[in-house]
Amino acid sequence: MFKEYSLKARLIPTILTAPPILILGNALFDMQSSQWLDSDMMISLFGKGSASTALVFFMTQVNRLIGLEIFQRWAAKDELDLPTTRFLLEGNVEMSRSQRADINQKIQRDFQVSLLSEIHGDTPIIRRHNADIVGRIRNFVGSPPKLLQYNIEYGFFRNLIGASVPAIMASLGNIYLYGQGLLPIWAYELSIAYAICAGTLISLAKPIIQRLGVMYARMLFLAYLAKT
C-alpha cells in the first residue's frame, strides 16, 4: 500500500511538474559548475544526472509539504472543515441522519466515545473532537483497495497542486533566463505552458481538494460501517 501510494500520489505529481524545475536547474548548473567543479571526479559525482535525481527526490518532499501544510490546511482550516470532520456534525446535510446514527453506535462500541449532540453547537472544539474520531476510524479501517484508490486520487491532486507552486516559480525563472539569451525558445514556450497550467490548478485548489475530500469521506465511512 505504502509503495503504491508513494508512487502514484507523491512521485508522479513531482515528475509531471519537474520539467521547468529541471530546465532551470540545468541552466544554473551550466552557469555555476565551472566555478565549483574543477575535476573530472567531481563532475562524475555531482554531475547533471545525480543532481537531477536528488532534485526530484527533494521536490517530492517539498511538494507534499506545500500541498499538505499550505493548501490542505487552507482549504480545510487545519482539519476542522475536512469533509470527514464536517460529515459527523449533527446538523450537516451531506450525510443522512440514519448513517450518522449508525456510525455513532459503532464508534461507541469500537472506541468507547460518541459524537456530541447538536445542543453543543458547531464549535472548533466539536470539530476537533470529530477529527480525532476520524483518525481512529482511519486506523481501524486500514487501506482496503477501494478506499486506497480514493486516498491516492486525493493525495495525487493535493500534491500536484503543491507541486504547482515551485513549477510556477521555476517557469518564471526560465522566462527571465530566456530573455537573457540563456535558454532556447522551446524552454520558454514550455515554461509558459507550465505556468498557465500550474496557475489554473492553484486557482482551483480549494474546490478540487474539497470535492475529492467528499468522495474520500463517503468511501471511508462506508468502509467503516462494513468492517466488523
Residue ranges of domains in the chain: 2-226
Model pLDDT for residues 124-183, shown as the tens digit of each residue: 888 899 999 999 999 999 989 999 999 999 999 999 999 999 999 999 999 999 999 989
Would you call 206 helix, strand, or coil by DSSP? helix
pLDDT (mean) for 61-87: 87
Residue 59, pLDDT > 70, answer: yes
Q: Name every residue whose Cβ is closer than 8 Å to that of residue 111 and which is 6 or more positions away in sequence.
A: 133, 136, 140
Distance from first CA to last CA of the chain, Å, rounded? Answer: 21
Q: Whose grid coordinates read 524545475? A: 21
CA distance 43 to 150: 43
Would you call 91 helix, strand, or coil by DSSP? coil
Name the residue among 80, 75, 118, 93 with its Cα closest to residue 204.
75
Q: Name every residue whose Cβ is closer than 8 Å to that of residue 162 and which is 6 or more positions away in sequence.
A: 13, 62, 63, 64, 65, 66, 67, 68, 70, 71
